[in-house]
Structure 1
Amino acid sequence: MTNFVPIFPLSIVVFPGEQLNLHIFEPRYKQLVNECFEERKRFGIPTVITDKVSEFGTTVMVKDIVKVYDSGEMDITAEGDSVFRMLELVKDIPDKLYSGAIVNYQENQFDGNRQLMQALVRSIRELHDLLKVQKKFTKEDLHLVTYDIAHHVGFSLEEEYEFLQLPREIQRQEYIKRHLGKVLPLLAEMEALKDKIKLNGHFKQLPGFNF
């Protein structure tokens, strides 16, 4: 299925179902947001990486215009919807300040493994404990899918973009599993190293070696 959508390129990856808060200040995007909100239509956020608009992105729906400033700038809430791939960039649209794109939509399969998902959630909580950060998921554990946890694992922008392109839930689960398999041992080693450094100069109570 192909479609035309207005686009708002940003240096972020938005996942389906994600709740997004944005401050809108450029005239072209103030026009885009106002039109999309009034007409209840979606716009696309393709990811910008190294100053280049990438092929893949996510459509979002404006849920609310929270605040409009005297300057016309606004704070909005939006929600991620569908992953798309840009087929053609339409830079100039008559009577519009913003650009658009012809896109098709990725067929998404939620064929995940529930046991693997539970293991991933446990590993993410272990990661957060090691980092001493507190993050809460927006759903109960049993209802979580990979899109709900992907921003919680420490992906780089490039990794999030690779992740966005995966069409199957089981692929996304395996991608997160591989990532955690790399970072958790490194963090555990760093924590052990920190503990050793803290002990330096302290009185040590150690048992003698029995010959």
Structure 2
Amino acid sequence: MTAALPLFPLSTVLFPGLVLPLHVFEDRYRELIRDIIALPADSDREFGVVAIRSGWEVEHTGPGGEPAVGLTSGASISLYDVGCSALLRQVTEHPDGQFDVVTVGRRRFRIVEVDATTAPYLIAQVEWLDEEPGEPGMADALAPGVLAVFQRYLRMLRGESTPTGEQLPEDPNVLSHLIAATASLTTDDRQQLLALPDTVSRLRAERTLLNREVALLDQLQAVPASLPELATPSAPN
């Protein structure tokens, strides 16, 4: 069974449980926000965030640097087929009709069909994707090792030599989404992680990706010249 879900195409990937602030400036998406606000208070005030595979998105940011939602008029875009619904948590409307909203990722979906004619914005028929754990007991077995690599990766990014005592989730599924959302990965990498069928698959893929990133950081730190120096073109002989 499918459900109708209004879509926000973005150049980012949203994961369940992660907060996503947005600055909404374009007319069609302002209307989408108004339509969602008009829903009964006890209804699911959510829309679908789906990453843009190719196409042009208007380059804007909100006052706080948050992503701004809008596409060039008549733009042709290609979307990934798996996204995540965003639950509306907070809305601020400005005098000029623009919105600042705070959302949180809720549940993954797969796009079955897209309707581009009924409303000014896209509406998709989607099927919801369950959060499956995968092979019994394996997520709990994998999580500590993946967490250790992730913590090492964070320390290397921050230039820290010792752990900071940062609190990270113990639940393997929550951890898998947090890593996918916060590690410095490409949109394709993030999208592939979002689309994986279960927590075990996601943790295994993240272990591979994190080990790759840690190895790269190790190589960069082993270079005797400073990174700013490496970024400066050398003078010709």
Alpha-carbon deviation of 1:182? 1.4
**Correspondence for 1:56:** 82
**Any conservation in 2 of the 1:33–1:62 contact (CA below 8 Å)?**
no
Report the 3-state secondary structure (helix = DSSP H, G, I; strand = E; otherwise coil) of the residue aligned with 1:8. Answer: strand
Of residues 191, 196, 199, the one that matches 2:221 is: 191
Question: 1:4–1:102: 8 Å Cα contact kept in structure 2?
Answer: yes
Letter of the 1:25 counterpart = F
Structure with greater proportional helix content: 1
How far apart in 1 are the matches of 2:122 and 2:182? 31
Offset, 1:140: 4.2
CA distance in 1, matches of 2:147, 2:182: 10
Alignment of 1:1-211 (within 5 A): 1-39=1-39, 40=43, 41-51=45-55, 52-65=78-91, 67-93=92-118, 96-111=119-134, 113-132=139-158, 140-143=168-171, 144-194=174-224, 197=225
Q: Does the Cα contact within 8 Å between 1:118 and 1:141 map onto a contact in 2?
A: no
CA contact (8 A) 1:6 1:101 kept: yes
C-alpha displacement of 1:138: 9.4
Distance across 1 between alignment mates of 2:23 and 2:211: 36
* Distance across 2 between alignment mates of 1:119 and 1:85: 30
Q: Give the counterpart letter for 1:55 in structure 2.
A: D
CA contact 2:168–2:175 (8 Å) conserved in 1: no
Distance 1:29 1:8 in 2: 8
Match for 1:104: what amino acid? E
Residues 124 and 152, structure 1, Cα contact 8 Å, conserved in 2: no
Instruction: State TM-score, norm by structure 2.
Output: 0.74
Question: Is residue 9–residue 46 contact of structure 1 (8 Å, CA) maintained in 2?
Answer: yes
Cα gap change, 1:138 to 1:10, in 2 (>3 Å): farther
**Contact 2:133–2:198 (Cα < 8 Å) also in 1:** yes
Residues 114-153 of structure 1 deviation map (CA, whole Å, 9 limit, x = unaligned): 242122222122112222269x999643234201221222
Where do 5+ consecutive residues of structure 1 fail to align?
199-211
Q: Indicate conservation of the 8 Å contact 2:51/2:79, yes or no.
A: yes
RMSD (CA atoms): 2.3
SS in 1 for 2:29: helix
Structure 2 unmatched runs, 5+: 56-77, 227-237
AA aligned opposite 2:212:
K
- Number of corresponding residues: 192
CA distance, structure 2, for counterparts of residue 57 and residue 154 of structure 1:
19
Q: Which moved more, 1:138-147 or 1:185-194?
A: 138-147
- 3-state SS of the aligned residue for 2:10? coil
